[in-house]
Amino acid sequence: MRLNQRQIEVFNAVMVNKSVTAAAAALGTSQPTISRELREMEQRIGFDLFLRFGKRLTPTNQALLLHEVVRRSFVGMDEISRAASAIRTYNAANFRIATIPAFAESVMPRVAQRLQKQRPAVHLSLHSLEELSLQHEVSTTVFDLGVTEGRFEQQGVISQNIEVGELVCVLPIGHPLAGKKVLMPEDLNNEPFVYFSQDDPYRRKLDDIFFEAGITRSYAVETTTAASVCSMVSAGLGVSIINPLTAENHIGKGVVLRRLGVSVPYSLVVWRPAKSSRSRLAERVIATLSDVAAEMRQTLQAALNRE
């Protein structure tokens, strides 16, 4: 049994895009072609990858396990593409930062704004990557700085933590639980819940907290970014728990924020190459990031105290 590269690409596209239609669009091909490639792949490997209900495909447990391996191979290809893009746009005046989507959408725009107003101005080149992909970038010198949430060790890298508060509950407007100022795990028992992906480090922490408390949340939907979680909550799909920076960025934007009665500290992890000609500039960017994050923390606490 040997799979060809095209079948692997098709399988990955369906898993990532969640549908045959979207996968076909992403690969620039037709739905029948995608379906045929999947069937041939299943025949070759000897087990079903998807349960089929009309036009709807649901990944089997075997497909989820296989995709964990496939995704790692695509991370390597993505790294090459990103490195080429960063090198193509290289400019000595640009300070290149890799960060996760949650920070690219919340704290980093404010950091960029402040750095542009400083003298001399700092011109940023910002690359938004998923946590798993970003960790692989630590070993490269393509980026001058990385801002993530996961803790990891890498030789030749200097890292530091910036504490930014604690995880916060997010609810749809008008939700019955909005009447409480602090929500305990038991308040969320059987509540429809918007989950982060299983790769998310804070998803695992929260799962442990609810498991130890014997609390069962009702699965509503799973998504990969904090901004997407807030959009799902705003649409009334369920409640969730998010990082304080995204929470602050969504004050007054269609959701209700409440304290979580169980303390789950949240921090930024900032890393930079140990050997770099831009260490002073990196320290300046990190100092600005720390200041902005502290201000956002204070704004969020004030908003939570007013409720």
Q: In order of start, what are the domains of the chain with their CATH numbers?
A: 5-73 (1.10.10.10), 89-163+266-302 (3.40.190.10), 168-263 (3.40.190.10)
* Beta bridge partners of residue 255, listed in sequence order: 172
**Cα separation values, 284 from 25, 95, 120, 267, 278, Å:** 43, 11, 11, 19, 10
Strands, DSSP E only, in the chain?
50-53, 56-59, 94-99, 123-128, 145-148, 157-166, 168-172, 182-183, 192-196, 218-223, 240-242, 255-260, 265-273
3-state helix, strand, coil in the chain (%, to 5): 50, 25, 30
Q: Give 183's strand partners.
A: 260
Report d(CA 302, CA 132) in Å as an integer.
Answer: 33
- Single-letter amino acid, residue 153: E
Q: pLDDT tens digit string along 107-159? A: 999 999 999 888 887 888 888 877 666 666 655 557 888 898 876 666 777 88
The answer for residues whose C-beta is within 8 angstroms of residue 82's C-beta and 6 or more apart is 127, 129, 137, 142
Tens digits of per-residue pLDDT, 14-59?
A: 888 888 888 888 888 888 888 888 888 888 888 888 888 766 788 8
